[in-house]
Amino acid sequence: MYDLLIRNVKIYDGSEGNPYIADIGIKGDKIEAIGDLKDAAAVEEIEAGGLSAMPGFIDTHCHSDMSLLYDRQHANGLMQGITTELLGQDGLSYVPLSPDNLKMYTKYLAGLNGYYPDVPLDFNTVEQYLERFHKKVAPNVAYQVPHGAIRLEAMGFLDRPLTGYALDKAKALMRQAFEEGAVAFSTGLSYYPCSYADTEELIELCKVCAEYDVPFVIHTRSVFRGEPFDPTLEAIQIARKAGCRLHFSHFRTSPANYGRTAELLEPVEKAIDEGMKITCETYCYYSGAGYAVVFLPPWAVEGGYEATLERLADKSLRERIYEGMRANTIPPVDGTFTQLDKNVQYLGMSFEEVARLRGQTNEEMMCDILLEEGLNVGYYANPTGDEAIRRQLDDDFTELLKKPYYMVCTDSIPHGLKPHPRAFGTFPRFLRLAREKGVPFETVANRMAKNPARTFRLNGRGSIETGNYADIVIFNEQTVTDTATYRDARRSPKGIPYVIVNGKTAVYDEKVTGVLNGHAICRGN
């Protein structure tokens, strides 16, 4: 007697081997049998004739760190087939932090991760944070120790590299985080306080990654005090000197370099040929998204939340802030608002439109909006409307997916009323693109599940095999597609009728069931 029996399903098991049709018998949270189980009985059965199964998708990059504690069902990810999410991305998350730093940093990151007064800030360690998720949310979660939190706790929100005692404290915090279950170390070198670090600081921190054999996950640098640098080569240099594994966040072409995947990957493949262990991830959209504090110059945010608001309120500093915003062209002050609480009339409007309505420049408008909203401002970069560029980017994304060291991420920011569509459509969109462009589904299953499980050592996940956890996505190869758009993002995908998380049906007939059976996955487990 099985708890759940999936009958007559076409299985892409994650190994890149040929698919086959079989039954899957599940008992408890594990796969107990795969084969001809026609004589078996079960408490629950799914007749999956004509449908296909893949291992539950592992989202290697998302920003659900706070919203998942508020919206535990997490339908936007679950209905894509995502059964595991890696939190702590871009160095922008919440543990390990002392109570005062946690309170401040939560407000500072509100535009990215959301701010929910109903969510108690009663976690200060990785162990405590992971406990908040275990069997209390729908998907599994794993956690990466974030560079921003480590710097903040070791030294404060200060514009100088970690050295001496502060560096020693940061390393000790990292070791404790890995001992408590963190699976990687992440940084985002477009974001403060992470960007205050120099290359040498990151080499020293990444030596701890080498001690624990965990990946260094990097959103490459866009800010380095005006000095010339190559962000990809800096990342490779850090990992090479530290002796650790390297994982590039959302490493893809854009409207600025579309059609040039070979050029993008040349230094990566050279380093791999030289013996380095490097992996990458991508999502399949034409622009990114973020939180609007990123537009401010580095000195304006030093000190964190209250200090940033004080400078924005000081009219005597405004011209200097505007000058810094204009000089910081990565990113330029251009985009569309996704999150506003006090100026909801501007949601879904471009910065240019809002500035024109207010009779201001983009920089003036943004500073006022950040001040009015208490920094809780989200946006997405305006996507290219050029159809030829979009078609080429679609080709680029599927070309990257063919690489054996690639995997898939959403980089989703579910926070905000008008979010980027990647929070709702990335994985089904990739399945559709694979169908249209002839990428084998056995390759896709490997990139969406097996590769990330292997890279982040998520043991017992990422493949459909006996003894593994029963994380399974059941979909229709011919109809699976995304429906979310930039203008209407909160639309569910089609063609994914069932999603199983640890043996429980979390999506049934394309509807979430309310089951909260996700595990907190710890390093080494």
d(CA 252, CA 31): 35
State whether 184 and 266 are in the same domain: yes
Does the pLDDT of residue 214 top 80, yes or no? yes
Mean pLDDT computed over 488-496: 97
- Do residue 304 and residue 268 come from a single domain? no
Q: Are residues 91 and 217 in the same domain?
A: yes
For 357, the domain range is: 290-380
What is the percent of the chain with per-residue pLDDT over 90, rounded to a whole number? 97
Q: Are residues 101 and 239 located together in one domain of the fold?
A: yes
Sign of the alpha-carbon torsion through 171, 177, 180, 185: negative
> Where a domain ends, among 359, 380, 401?
380
| Same domain membership, residue 442 and residue 296 | no
Residue 496 lies in a domain: yes
How confident is the model at residue 138, as a pLDDT?
Answer: 98
> Is residue 226's pLDDT more than 70?
no
Q: Is 225 exposed, middle or buried (0-12, 13-18, 19+ CB in 10 A)?
A: exposed
Q: Are residues 483 and 505 in the same domain?
A: yes
Q: What pLDDT score does 525 carry? A: 78
Whether the model clears a pTM of 0.85, i.e. scores above it, the answer is yes
207 lies in the same domain as 97: yes
Instruction: Give 330 or 29, the one with higher predicted confidence.
Output: 29
Is 443 within a domain? yes
- Strand order, beta sheet including 289-291: 289-291, 378-380, 336-339
What pLDDT is stored for residue 524 in this prediction? Answer: 79
Residue 224 confidence (pLDDT) above 70: no
Q: Please report whether residue 33 resides in a domain.
A: no
Would residue 154 count as lying in a domain?
yes
Residue 389 lies in a domain: yes
Give the domain CATH number at 84: 3.20.20.140
Residues 363, 429, single domain; the answer is: no
Q: Which of 175, 173, 243, 177 is nearest to 215 (CA)?
A: 243
> Which of 354, 380, 406 is the C-terminal boundary of a domain?
380
Last residue of a domain, one of 342, 363, 380: 380
Number of structural domains (the chain) is 2
- For residues 399 and 368, membership in a common domain is answered with no
The Cα 233–Cα 241 span in angstroms is: 12
On whether residue 61 sits in a domain, the answer given is: yes
